[in-house]
Amino acid sequence: MPSTLSITTLGHTAGHITRFGREVLPGHGQVRDLFFYLLAAPDGRTRAQIVEDLWGTDEDDAALNRLRVTLHRLKAAFDGLCVVQEHGGRYRLNPDLAAKSDLHTFDVCLSLARQHLGPDERRARLEEAAHRYPGDFLTDVRATWAQEARDALRARYVRVLLELSSVHCDAAHCRGATCRLSQALTLDPFQGERLHQNLIACLAEQGDASAAIGHFRGFARFLRDDLGDAPLEETRALADLVREGRPPCPRHVSGEGPCPKRAREAAERHHASPPQPAQTLLLDLSEALLGAAGLDDAAGAVTRVLEASLGVTAVVVADVRLEDDELTFVHASGDLPDLTRARVAARTSVPASSSALYEACLRTVTPLYLRDARSLAPDLPAVASAVEPIRVGEDRVLFVQVMRPPALGDWTMDERRLLARACRLFALAAARNVPA
């Protein structure tokens, strides 16, 4: 297909097809509709689908004749080039022609970004894919097929923005992470309230309280006007902390794992600071736990006390029961991933990744120390984990999980002894506050 052919559909009201500098299929009409319809359907469409989607009719003689005439006019508009191919009862745009479109370029960029790449190259590929999406598909075409294509393409673009936000966060590029997450949530505010919470917390962490509160108000307005709903109490409490000048501790922007920026800072402090005596740390922890208002507050207290000395970035307490050989959540608090929060709320089984972690403790009835949790279950976040099982009943176990960056290396014997004592202090406080 000649290199002089160009097909643009993204960010254009009706699209452009130019060949040798001349507009092909100018204006509107069924020939043009058929071209863009097939362009948006790379897997092809049957005759029945085409006549139904484009003209709202059954596959009768009149409809099939109309399709034959439209295909003939489409071929004539391209001076006899093979524009549409038919195989196995499905009609497709010629792949060589479709390859000249911005949709194809966007697809290629996405495919390259999903290869096994290093973090810097993956980020560059994703940025290129985002650049190749200047706007929605054929915004002036109101047909159902065009709206469905628009929705599907926008969803893929939102996924690119979320992935970009995550890789920026992995590298502790906070501004890039919040910028891309904000763009994604503006385009699709249905992505999940946890992501809105993460954006509010991250903006506050960067010192932009006005942007954090602005996003909260916009999200609350969306829930009220579009869904007749309101933010969760947890989200409102988060906004209150920001208003009071007490920004909450952020998580990874994706919601899975601790904040990489804080983890990096904790690692630097850990290497730079002389270790505090264990007795002093445990006394500090006891005082912090006495003042804790609940389990989340207690988990935060453990994180704050152990952060400088051990590089701890997150703490989770999970109250788990063994029922019919399956681990089931009773309660959990602390820095929980979205999926875990949902399972806790529904009191369903523990996710396979966490179950592998907890079952490894139960088999030996001893603490588990991992330099990288992914060595046990690939779905776990990239953190060093120490898990202390505390039995609080015949079939009930309280797990205290402490996390820090893998770069800090293996847990030393002194660190393990200190963690064991700290976790038992925490477990005693937590056991008084979890449901029976």
Q: Is-contact 219 211, C-beta < 8 A? A: no
State mean pLDDT over 385-395.
Answer: 72
Calculate what percentage of the chain has a pLDDT beyond 90. 39
Give the DSSP letter string of 70-114.
HHHHHHHHTTT---EEEETTEEEE-HHHHTTBHHHHHHHHHHHHT
Q: Supply the pLDDT for residue 1.
A: 47
Q: Supply the pLDDT for residue 4.
A: 82
**Which residue intervals of the chain bear CATH 1.10.10.10?**
5-100
Q: Supply the pLDDT for residue 220.
A: 96
pLDDT band, residue 31 (cuts 50/70/90): very high
User: What is the spatial distance between Cα 301 and Cα 379, in angstroms, rounded to a whole number?
Assistant: 27
State mean pLDDT over 148-170.
Answer: 94
pLDDT band, residue 302 (cuts 50/70/90): confident
- Backbone dihedral angles phi then psi of residue 251, each to the nearest 5 degrees: -105, 180
> Thinking of the domain 5-100, which architecture would CATH place it in?
Orthogonal Bundle (1.10)
- Which helix H or strand E contains 270, and what residues bound it? helix 260-272
* CA 178 vs CA 155, 223, 256: distances in Å: 19, 21, 15
Q: Supply the pLDDT for residue 392.
A: 64
The position carrying tokens 């983890």 is 263
User: What is the spatial distance between Cα 433 and Cα 412, in angstroms, rounded to a whole number?
Assistant: 31
Q: Supply the pLDDT for residue 199.
A: 93
pLDDT band, residue 303 (cuts 50/70/90): confident
- Which helix H or strand E contains 310, and what residues bound it? helix 295-310
Q: Is the pLDDT of residue 353 over 60?
A: no
**Which residue intervals of the chain bear CATH 3.30.450.40?**
262-431
Name the least confident of 70-79, 192-201, 211-220, 358-367.
358-367
User: What is the spatial distance between Cα 44 and Cα 368, in angstroms, rounded to a whole number?
Assistant: 53
Q: Is-contact 15 36, C-beta < 8 A? A: yes
pLDDT band, residue 416 (cuts 50/70/90): confident
Q: Supply the pLDDT for residue 359.
A: 67
In CATH terms, the fold of domain 262-431 is Beta-Lactamase (3.30.450)
User: What is the spatial distance between Cα 193 and Cα 231, in angstroms, rounded to a whole number?
Assistant: 8
User: What is the spatial distance between Cα 308 and Cα 299, in angstroms, rounded to a whole number?
Assistant: 16
User: What is the spatial distance between Cα 168 and Cα 199, in angstroms, rounded to a whole number?
Assistant: 13
DSSP one-letter code for 335: S
State mean pLDDT over 298-308.
Answer: 75
pLDDT band, residue 11 (cuts 50/70/90): very high
Measured on CA atoms in the order 233, 235, 236, 238, is the torsion positive or negative?
A: positive
Q: What is the mean pLDDT of the chain?
A: 82
Name the least confident of 15-19, 266-270, 294-298, 344-348.
344-348
pLDDT band, residue 436 (cuts 50/70/90): very low
Q: Is the pLDDT of residue 264 over 50?
A: yes
Does the pTM surpass 0.85? The reply is no
Q: Supply the pLDDT for residue 377.
A: 63
- Which helix H or strand E contains 333, and what residues bound it? strand 326-334
